[in-house]
């Protein structure tokens, strides 16, 4: 199955296409924007443009979508496009080569699943980029392109290079590649929170901000790809997406879990805080904060106390930034519960 068309992001597409056409595209990029906004899909669009055999549009080209290279990228089978995503490692080995082989196998399984269902849910749980994945990336980086003139490496959800404090090995292993990538390679990182990356990584990439897309674009996508036609449900899904198409594909169980966690926090912040595991602030805790922020925004749209809600949203987002810096989530939850204006602002 081919990837669905990239919706929106016209400004950033124009910027990237212009850089590519003028041969000024940086070799190390970081696409940063809200979770689910389409950063990895945009990276794949750029990979498609780089490999397209008959791009359209002159100085601001678009991939044709019809040539062999375009179709291989869209089916996640182009030999020179390497998409690295977080996964939960189940195989342990002290042998470095076997670790890289296990990472290749896990990534191949993930790509097969995404070929079958390209509209995938957000990464959850303890999935990360293990050092074995980065060793595999470095190994492939040294190879000659198999089909085109360049290789493209996409590292999605790059925050998960460091899933918790003291696990910077994978991130550090990537530094040399970002500093001096081979001339025939482009490395594209994506992240919802660039501040969660090592400063040494940030200093080696060109940051490209990816903004939320218009509700009209989300509506068009829902009508085309999700086949929702009933107006009330359509409007509800578009509003909940908040300009991020990826939010449409969070599983109901995943969304329900986030909402339950947010409700537990607002009902009893101290008890919630005591139940958190120290130094594992990413994953479920961060997702709870995202759900809490969404509840607060929904309350504001319904005409709640705007001043208090804006203050509460700012506090939640500050807590999320701190969580990405590996601050103890027990402490974060306790302090946030004390600071939120009104003990049940998100109820």
Per residue in 276-288, pLDDT (tens digit) is: 554 444 456 777 7
For residue 168, pLDDT over 70 is answered with yes
What percent of the chain stands above pLDDT 70?
80
Cα–Cα distance list, 195 to 62, 68, 198, 332 (Å):
31, 38, 8, 17
Instruction: List 83's β-bridge partners, or say none.
Output: 154
pLDDT digits (tens, 9 = 90+) for 4-45: 889 999 999 999 999 999 999 999 999 999 988 999 999 999
155 — phi, psi (to 5°)? -115, 95
Taking the C-alpha atoms of residue 144 and residue 164, their distance in angstroms, rounded to an integer, is 34
The reported pTM is 0.72
Residue 234: how many other CB atoms lie within 10 Å: 16
What percent of the chain stands above pLDDT 90?
39
The DSSP bridge pattern shows strands 28-32 and 81-84 to be unpaired
140 — phi, psi (to 5°)? -70, -30
Taking the C-alpha atoms of residue 175 and residue 101, their distance in angstroms, rounded to an integer, is 22
Which residue is listed with tokens 């049940």? 344
Give pLDDT, residue 270.
65
């Amino acid at each position: 199955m081919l990837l669905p068309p990239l919706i929106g992001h016209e400004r950033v597409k124009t910027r990237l296409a212009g850089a590519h056409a003028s041969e000024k595209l940086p070799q190390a990029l970081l696409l940063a924007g809200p979770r689910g906004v389409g950063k990895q899909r945009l990276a794949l669009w750029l990979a498609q443009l780089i490999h397209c055999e008959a791009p359209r549009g002159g100085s601001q080209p678009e991939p044709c979508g019809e040539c062999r290279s375009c179709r291989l990228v869209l089916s996640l089978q182009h030999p020179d496009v390497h998409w690295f995503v977080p996964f939960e490692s189940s195989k342990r080995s002290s042998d470095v080569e076997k670790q890289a082989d296990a990472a290749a196998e896990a990534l191949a399984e993930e790509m097969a699943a995404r070929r079958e269902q390209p509209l995938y849910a957000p990464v959850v749980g303890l999935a990360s980029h293990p050092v074995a994945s980065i060793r595999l990336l470095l190994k492939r980086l040294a190879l000659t392109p198999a089909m085109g003139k360049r290789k493209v490496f996409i590292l999605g959800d790059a925050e998960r290079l460091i899933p918790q404090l003291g696990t910077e090995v994978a991130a550090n292993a990537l530094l040399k590649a970002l500093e001096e990538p081979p001339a025939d390679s482009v490395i594209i990182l994506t992240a919802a929170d660039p501040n969660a990356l090592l400063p040494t990584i940030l200093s080696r990439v060109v940051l490209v901000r990816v903004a939320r897309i218009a509700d009209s674009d989300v509506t068009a996508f829902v009508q085309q790809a999700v086949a929702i036609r009933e107006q009330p449900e359509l409007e509800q899904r578009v509003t909940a997406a908040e300009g991020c198409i990826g939010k449409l594909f969070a599983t109901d169980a995943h969304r329900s879990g986030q909402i339950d966690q947010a409700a537990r926090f607002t009902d009893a912040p101290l008890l919630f805080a005591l139940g958190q595991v120290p130094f594992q602030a990413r994953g479920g805790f961060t997702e709870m904060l995202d759900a809490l922020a969404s509840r607060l925004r929904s309350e504001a749209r319904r005409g709640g106390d705007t001043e208090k809600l804006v203050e509460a949203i700012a506090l939640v987002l500050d807590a999320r930034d701190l969580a990405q810096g590996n601050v103890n989530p027990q402490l974060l939850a306790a302090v946030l519960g004390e600071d939120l204006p009104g003990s049940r602002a998100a109820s």
